[in-house]
Structure 1
C-alpha cells in the first residue's frame, strides 16, 4: 500500500467502491465495477467497502443473512483479482466515523432531494415499500456520500444506475467546502465501465442478487451451464432457419461482455439475424466462454476460508479507520463543531 503521506499530497488518485453483503457477487458486478477495480488498484489508492450497514436498510429482519455474506463477498473480491496488499478492503460497521459523517450530512440534504433520486425510487418500487419506506433505506445515499468523502475519493467505479449517488456526494462536498471556506473535500467523479448494466438471465431487468436472475462468481460449472441454457433469447426465433433478433437477446449481451473474440461475436450476430443459427449454438459458446473465465476464479475463491477473509477485512478496516478519522476532524471543523483531542 502507498503511504498516508502519498494520500495527503495527492500523489495517487483515491478510489472508493464497494458492495452490499446480501449474497455472493455475480457477473453483473464483474462486468461492471469489479473488473475496473482490479485495473485501478495498480495506479490508485483503492478502498473497497463491504457495506453491511447499508445492507441492513432493507434486511433488518434478517441480520444473519448480512453477517453470513460478509466473508463471501471478500472471497469473491479475491477471486476476481483484488489484492489485499493493493486494495484496502474494510467493513462499514467497523468504522463509526462513517456513521457520524452520515449524521452530519443528513442535516445538509432535504427529504425532497432524496425522494427525487431515480435509483431510490426504482428500488422502492421493486421492494414494494410504497409509503412504508424504512428511514435508513431512504437515506442510504447519504451514507454512501459519507463513505466516498471519508476517504477523499476522487474516483468511484459505478454502474450508470448509481450516477445519482455520485451527484449527491458532489453536492455534499461542495456544501461542506462552502461552509468551511476551503477545499476540504474533493468532488468525486464516477468511473463507468464499458458494460454499465448486465441484464438478468430472464431478460426482465438487470442482473440482481435479490431477483435471483444472475450467474454468481462462485456458481459451480454445472449451475452456470444450466443458467445459460435458461437464458432469454428471441421468443420469435422458433426455428433455426428463422431470422433472429440480437437486440434484447441476453446471450448476445453476455457474449459482448465476456467473449474476447469481438470479430467472431460480430459474425455470430450477422448469421443469427440472417437465419440459420440456433440458440443452442450460441449458448454452448457462451457456456464455454464463462467456464474459461470463472474456473480460475472458482479455484481462488475456494482457497479463501472464512477466517482468512475476516482477517483480511479486519486489517483493512484498521487502516481505513485511521483515514476516515482524519476526514471527520476536518468536516467537524468546517461545520464549526468542537473537535476534542
Structure 2
C-alpha cells in the first residue's frame, strides 16, 4: 500500500499507475480523479507531476536538437563578448579579469538553459491551445478512448456510438470509447455538456471529477469546469441518479449515498465541503408531454387546483396544506410568465409565500377564512 501522504514529485513521476492515468492509459481513472479530495495537501506537487508527464509525452518534432545547440552556442558566444563590469554584474575586487569572465560565461549558460526551457514550455502550451478541435485516440486498457475537444467559441454537437447526442460547450472536452461495452456506457467530461442519452439496457455514466451521473435514457446538462467551486447536474426530462465516486467500494457495502433528480431539478456538489444537495433549475420549463397544455385563465378557482396544475406542467412537487387553501379562490390570467413568476402572483394574491426545499416547492400561509 503506497503512503500517498508522503508522496514527493519523484514518487508521482515513478508511479506507473499515475503515469498511465495522465497519459489516458490504465483502469484507475476514479482513484486519481478523486485523489486530491483525499489528499488536498498534495495538490501542488500533483499538478507539477501531471504537467511534466504531459509535456514529456509531446513528440519533439518542431524543434530539432541541432537548432537547440546552435541557439545555445550563439547565446554563449554573444554573452562572452559582453564585459561583466559594464553589464551590471558585480565583480569581486582583486580577482583576475579572466576569472570573472569564466564566471560570467557560466552564468550565461545557466540563463540560456532556463531560456530554452521557457521557450519549449511556451511552445508546448501554445501548441496545445491552438490545436484544432477533433478526435484524438487515447489508449486505455483493452479499448481505446477517444477525446473530443471544443476549442471554438460555439457549442459542438456530436453523436456517440450508441446514438446518444452530446452538445459540448466551449473550452470543454469529452473522453469516451469508440464502441461501448455490453455492461455499461461510460464517458468522462471536463467542462460542460448537454446529453440526450438513447435508452438502452445498460446504464450511461458521466464521470466529472468526484461526481458520477447515472442514467438509462434522458436529457440533462452537466457543468464541471476545474475552476468552478461547484459541479452541477440539471435534468431536462426523465430521471438521473447523482452520487460521489468512491475509489474503493467495499463489496459488502451496498448503499450508495446519492440523489435522485427529475425534470427541472438540479444536483449541486460543492467541492470545498464535498457536499451534494438537490434544488431546482434556474428557469424551469414546461414538460413536453404535460397533461396541462395551457395555463391561462382562472376564474374563482381554488388555489390547490392551480398548484396541482403547476405540478403537472413542470413535473415539480408542490407541497401545501390543501384544506387550509381550499377557500382561497383565484381569478388570474397566467400565460408567458416563468414558473417562479406564476408562484409570485399566486402567493401575493393571498399573502402567502413559497420556498425551495430539497428540489420541491413548499407553499405556506394563513389561508383564506
Q: TM-score, normalised by structure 1?
A: 0.26
| Structure 1 or 2: more helix by fraction | 1
Higher-Rg structure is 2
